[in-house]
Amino acid sequence: MSKNIINFIVTIVLAYLLSLFLPWWSVMTAALATALFIPLRKVAVFVIPFLAVLLFWFVMSYFLSSGNDFTLAKRIAVLLPLGGNPYVLMLVTGVVGGLAAGIAAIFGKQLSLVLVGRK
Partner 1 sequence: MKYFKLILSFVLTIGIFFALNTKFGSIPPIGKFLNPYTGVWQNEIDESITGEVSIPDLKDNVTVHYDAELIPHVFAQNDLDLYRAQGYITAKHRLWQMEFQTFAASGRLSEIIGAAALNYDRQERRRGMGYGAEQTLNKMAEDETTSAMVQAYADGVNSYINQLEPKDLPVEYKLLDYKPEAWTPKKTALLLMYMTKMLAGGDEDMENTNALRLFGKERFDLLFPDFFDITDPIISKDTDWSFIDVPQTPTPNSTPILDSISETIDKPNPDNGSNNWAVSGKKSTTGNAILANDPHLGLNLPSIWFVMQLSTPDHNAFGATLPGALAVISGFNQHIAWGETNATRDVIDWYKIEFNADRTQYKFDNQWKDVSVRVEEIKIKGKETYKDSVLYTHHGPVVYDKNFKSDQELAGYAMQWTGHIPGNGQKTFTELNKAKNYDDYTEALKNWIAPAQNFVFASTEGDIALWIQGLLPNKWEGQGKFIMDGSKSENDWQGFIPQEFNAHTKNPERGFVSSANQHPVDETYPYYVFNDGYETYRNRVINDFFNSKDKFSVQDFKDLHNNNYNLKAAEIVPYMLEHMDNSSLTEEEKAIYDEIKTWQFNNDINEVGPSIFRQWYGKLYDMVWDEFDVEDTALEQPFAYQTIYLLKNKGDDAFMDIVDTPETETAKDLFLLAFKEAAARLIEIKAEKGDYTWVTYKATHASHLLQGLPAFSVFDIPIGGDRSIVNATSEDHGPSWRMIVEMTSPPTAFGIYPGGQSGNPGSKYYDNFIDDWAAGKYHSLNFLQSNTATDAIISTQILTPKN
Q: Is 57 in the site for partner 1 (CB under 8 A)?
A: yes
Residue choice 12, 64, 87, 119 for contact with partner 1 (CB under 8 A): 64
Cα–Cα distance for residue pair 30/117, rounded to 1 Å:
23
b/e 70-109 (16+ beta carbons within 10 angstroms → b):
beebbebbeeeebeeebeebbbbbbbebbbbbbbbbeebb
Site string for partner 1, 19-48 (x = CB under 8 A): x---xxxxxx---x----------------
Q: Is 110 in the site for partner 1 (CB under 8 A)?
A: yes
Contact in structure between 105 and 49 (CB atoms under 8 Å): yes
Task: With both helix axes pointing from N to C terminus, report the angle between 3-19 and 86-118 in degrees, rounded to the nearest 10.
Answer: 110
**Nearest distance from residue 82's CB to partner 1, in Å?**
10
Interface residue list for partner 1 (CB under 8 A) = 19, 23-28, 32, 57, 60-61, 64-65, 67-73, 75-76, 78-79, 89, 92-93, 96-97, 99-100, 103-104, 106-107, 109-111, 113-114, 117
